[in-house]
Amino acid sequence: MKSKRKLIITGITLAVLIIVVVGIAFLEKIYNNADNGPSTPAVYFKTLSDGTLYNTSPKLQMPKQFEGLDITNIQLTCTQPVSTNNVINSMIKGVTDIIATVTNNTDQTLGGYGVEITFVDEKGVPISNSKVYVEIIQLKPGATAQLHGGITENLVNAYDIQMEKVTNE
């Protein structure tokens, strides 16, 4: 009877020990994954005094070359809806505008086509399925024009943009 009782106590002790070891290993795995998991996304905007959100990403503001044109002074802003209609406010999370200067520094006329702008994160992954379509007018050599587009979605926290020429084929 004593040996049977010793066997039961040894079995229970062994089971508890196994549960403790497995539990510690599980908690350690969770703790380690939390350290290596996704971090809080970077914030690339500030709020201006009138409530407008203004993109501050250094990558977005860098001059860009596109199809031989220089794209500079890129500004991305988002205004929040001011409607008193809650249905509209729930549908529109903001209106994002993109403005830039387009300059033709070549010796030939460029432009005269549409461009889709995709807003991306640090890894170049689109932050939304939405794209902004803008028309780049024909620019003679040395000419400058303003690029302007907008969308009813808050995309102001974009890290950068990707541009793609739209062909009518």
Q: What is the pLDDT of residue 89?
A: 47
* Mean pLDDT confidence for 133-152: 92
**Residue 158: which pLDDT band, with cuts at 50, 70 and 90?**
very high
Helices (H), the chain: 2-36, 58-61, 86-91
Q: What does the alpha-carbon distance between residue 95 and residue 117 come to, in Å, rounded to a whole number?
A: 15
pLDDT single digits (tens) 45-63: 999 999 899 999 999 999 9
Could you tell me how many helices (H) and strands (E) the chain has, helices first? Answer: 3, 9
pLDDT single digits (tens) 73-96: 999 999 976 555 555 445 557 899
Q: What is the pLDDT of residue 81?
A: 64
Q: Which CATH number fits domain 45-166: 2.60.40, 3.30.1490, 2.20.110, 1.20.950?
A: 2.60.40
SS3 state at 112: coil
Domains of the chain, by residue range, sit at: 1-37, 45-166
Residues in the chain: 169
pTM of this structure: 0.70
- Please, which residues have CB within 8 angstroms of residue 67's CB and are 6 or more apart in sequence? 110, 111, 113, 165
